[in-house]
Structures are given as structure tokens and as C-alpha cells.
Amino acid sequence: MVAELSALQQIVNTLTGLNGLPVVIVECVVTTIYTSLGGFRVSFITDNVQGALVVMLIIIGVITVGVEVDVDRSLVGSSGLLDASLLGWQLIYILPVAILTNDFFISGFWMRTFASKTDKDLRVGVSIATVAVAIILTLIGSSGLLAVWSGALTDPETEGSIAFFLLLGQLPAWVVGIILVMVVCLSTAAFDSFQSAMVSTGSNDIFRNKLNFWFVRAAVVLIIIPVVVVALKSPSVLRIFLISDLVSASSIPVLVIGLSDKCWWWRGFEVVVGGLGGILTVFLFGLVYYDGNSGMAGRLIILEGGLFAGDWSTFGAFVAAPIGGLLWGFAAFALRLSVQFILAKVRGHKLTALDRPVRSSPDPTFFTGGTASEGDPSPVSGGYYGDQKTKFF
């Protein structure tokens, strides 16, 4: 949410020279109103509008950039963007890990997965989106090169995340006006998904649907206030995403283990310890890398140097996070199993931590927060409630 609002205010400022704060506030108010009235269904509608606008924006951008933007050929070689670089090689690893784990981390993707009518619909939708996104990102990524070579982008470290819009800012005023309207619509469509996901996560996952729904919505509205403040002070959209990506890289590898039916012995305890342990491992890596400087190690967790640090710190952080998370997760598993084994021996009980559960899919209470008795038939899979899959320990 911070990244979305930060990007919006920076784009408005870039294209118009105006203060982006009023636009950000209006967007927050409007999305809060219509998501409160329409729920997540209205987010699906705006996503369709978002997809159409993205295609229109790309078409307009390609045509107008091809006609209007003047590339200074002398800048092509001197920019060094076509030369091999340390960062370029590092990104071959960093970007796939960061993006893949962050997609697992974002609730909106899971909610759309659960909303699919059939597995076939999900596969078709993901396949179409994959092709479309690959084309769109290739075109937008190329705009970064053109922005530098045309002189529109002079500071990649701070302005790189809005290079596309810096390039479009050179176009005629009427084109900029159309693009600005599209940008606001696109940002609104993305932001309402984040709001809906936060409401759903708070209501279902945290309070198990036992807290009044409107209290959760009110809490999300209150959260938006500091989000706006942080967004306006954020120097780089890219750095915001990188911090989120590092958290994702720490927690997602240990989480996906539990998604496999073959790993019925995996518990929430391992996921929590592994996720926190991944972040701690980044700090420990920082201590080694910076020769015991705890301040520098702590700042590595928030990737203060960003992608343009010019060393191995960011790369090392994204290696330490998933590997450390897995190591801590398996250590937590060994600890939990040892404690449960000792307790079983002391109490004279059988160790059941490694017993395969009767049913591998979660019962309806997992999604609704209701209650079910041990032995009640499960309409989900034909098994029985009371399996160990959803236990924390």
C-alpha cells in the first residue's frame, strides 16, 4: 500500500509538477467507500478495468514514444547500460526470488486463486496473464533504457522506478493528460485490492470472523493514515518493494513446505520460527559482511543501500533470507519434535506428531472461523475434522 501511494504521488508530481498529496487522499477515500459497499467483488470489476487500461496505456506509450522521443545516440555507449555489470548478474538471482516469493506473500493473489471456479479456469487465467505481463514488462523495461538515452532520466538510483513516466513526461500535453487519468485509475484499481485483502486477512485469518466486520474495516481505515504519511516520505518505490521482498524471501520458502500433502508433519511453529529466523540470518550475514558493525547489519534488513549499493550486500541478503529461513524452520521442527517426544515418554503417551492426518484439506472452519466437532463428516473432502494439519505445534 505504501509503494502504491508513493508511486502515485511521485508520478503526479513528475507529470504535472503539482503536489501529489491531494490525489493520494482522494484515492484513499474513494476506494474505502466503494470497497466498503461492494466488498471484494467490486475489486474484481476494477481489475478488469485495470487490465484494459494497461493495454491502452502501453499502446499509447509505444506509439507516442516511437514518434516523439529523440534518442541521443552518444548516450547509448556512455551510459554503460549495454555493458555487463555486477548488478546485472546479481539481478538474475535477486529478481526471480524477490518477485516469486512476494507473489506468494500478497493476499490478493491467494484470494483470486480461491475465487476461481475450477482448476482449469485458474490455469487458463494464469497462462493468459503470464503472456500479457511478459509483453508489458518487456515494453516498460525498455522504456528505462530509452529514458536514459533521451536524457529524461539522470539519476537511476532515485528515479529509476518512475523511468517510464519520466519518458512519457516529454510527450505532448494532451497525451500526458490521458496518461495521468489512466495512472490514477490503475492506482485506484490496485489499491482497492490491497484494502480488500487487508480486510479479509484481518477478519478471517486474525480474528476468525468473530469480530464485527465493520470494526475490521475501521481498523484498515486507521492503518491507511500512517501508510499515507510513510508513502509521502519514501524516497524510492523500488526500495519499499525490496523490503517487502526480503520479508517474503524469508517466510515463503518455509510456508510452501506446509502446502504439500506429503509434509503433513510441518506446523505453524516451523513457519513462524523460519520466517523470523530468515530475517535474523540477514542480520547475522550483515555482521559478518560488515566486520561486526551491528548498525550496518541492522540497516541491511531494510536494504538501506538498495540495489545500487555496488557491492554484494543486497545479493547476500537475498541469499541469506530463504536459506536461513529454511535452516531455522527445520531446526524448529527438530526442537518441537524433541520436546513432544520427551513429553510423550514422560506422560506415557504415544508420539502422534508424525502421524498422517485423516484428511489433507482444511475443513470449512479454516475459512469461516466456525466450530466443528471431532469426527464430524467433512463436506470438503469426505474425511473427518480434527486432523493435525492446522495445528500450530
Same-domain pairing of 84 and 180: yes
Same-domain pairing of 337 and 351: yes
pLDDT at residue number 299:
93
pLDDT at residue number 379:
40
Same-domain pairing of 99 and 187: yes
pTM: 0.79
Kindly state the average pLDDT of the residues 254-276: 93
Return the minimum-mean-pLDDT range out of 22-26, 44-48, 260-264.
Answer: 44-48
Share of the chain above pLDDT 70, in %: 91
User: For 204, how many CA atoms within 13 A lie in the half-sphere containing its CB?
Assistant: 13
Q: Is residue 167 part of a domain?
A: yes
- Render pLDDT for 286-345 as a digit per residue (tens, 0 to 9): 999 999 999 999 999 998 888 888 899 999 999 999 999 999 999 999 999 999 999 999
Of 235, 264, 294, the one marking the end of a domain is 235
Looking at the structure of the chain, the number of domains it has is: 2
Return the minimum-mean-pLDDT range out of 26-30, 255-259, 381-385.
Answer: 381-385
Of 186, 214, 235, the one marking the end of a domain is 235
The answer to whether the CB of 87 falls within 8 A of the CB of 160 is no
Same-domain pairing of 164 and 249: no
Displacement of CA 348 from its chain's centroid (Å)? 46
pLDDT at residue number 43:
80
Same-domain pairing of 229 and 244: no
Same-domain pairing of 1 and 16: yes
pLDDT at residue number 367:
52
The answer to whether the CB of 308 falls within 8 A of the CB of 91 is no
Same-domain pairing of 119 and 171: yes
- Render pLDDT for 56-86 as a digit per residue (tens, 0 to 9): 888 888 887 888 888 888 889 888 889 999 9
Return the higher-pLDDT residue of 154 and 9. 9
The answer to whether the CB of 34 falls within 8 A of the CB of 192 is yes
pLDDT at residue number 232:
85
* Band (282; pLDDT cuts 50, 70, 90): very high
- The span from the first CA to the last CA of the chain, in angstroms, equals 32
Q: Is residue 101 part of a domain?
A: yes
The answer to whether the CB of 266 falls within 8 A of the CB of 333 is yes
Kindly state the average pLDDT of the residues 159-165: 82
Kindly state the average pLDDT of the residues 267-276: 95
Q: Is residue 63 part of a domain?
A: yes
- Render pLDDT for 139-149 as a digit per residue (tens, 0 to 9): 888 888 999 99
DSSP code for 161 = G
- pLDDT averaged over every residue in the chain: 85
Q: Is residue 189 part of a domain?
A: yes
- Render pLDDT for 346-369 as a digit per residue (tens, 0 to 9): 998 888 888 887 654 555 555 555
Same-domain pairing of 222 and 125: yes
Q: Is residue 379 part of a domain?
A: no
Of 204, 235, 266, the one marking the end of a domain is 235
* Number of C-beta neighbours around residue 134 at 10 A: 10
Q: Is residue 121 part of a domain?
A: yes
pLDDT at residue number 390:
62
Kindly state the average pLDDT of the residues 252-273: 93
Return the higher-pLDDT residue of 372 and 342. 342
Q: Across the strands, what pairs with 12? A: none
Q: Is the pLDDT of residue 10 over 60?
A: yes
The answer to whether the CB of 292 falls within 8 A of the CB of 381 is no
Same-domain pairing of 158 and 10: yes
CA distance 319 to 382: 42
* Band (374; pLDDT cuts 50, 70, 90): very low
Kindly state the average pLDDT of the residues 7-26: 89
Q: Is residue 196 part of a domain?
A: yes
- Expressed as residue numbers, the domain containing 220 is 1-235
Same-domain pairing of 12 and 111: yes
pLDDT at residue number 281:
97
For the chain, list the strands marked E by DSSP: none
pLDDT at residue number 155:
81
Kindly state the average pLDDT of the residues 176-180: 86
Q: Is the pLDDT of residue 215 over 50?
A: yes
The answer to whether the CB of 227 falls within 8 A of the CB of 24 is no
pLDDT at residue number 387:
45
Same-domain pairing of 166 and 267: no
For the chain, helix (H) and strand (E) counts, in that order, are 15, 0
Q: Is residue 366 part of a domain?
A: no
Same-domain pairing of 76 and 171: yes
Phi and psi, residue 162, nearest 5°: -120, 25
CA distance 109 to 101: 12
DSSP code for 180 = H
The answer to whether the CB of 193 falls within 8 A of the CB of 39 is no
* Number of C-beta neighbours around residue 31 at 10 A: 24
pLDDT at residue number 361:
53
CA distance 151 to 148: 5
Share of the chain above pLDDT 90, in %: 37
Q: Is the pLDDT of residue 20 over 60?
A: yes
Between helix 21-68 and helix 107-115 the angle, nearest 10°, is 80
- Render pLDDT for 114-125 as a digit per residue (tens, 0 to 9): 888 899 999 999
CA distance 165 to 68: 14
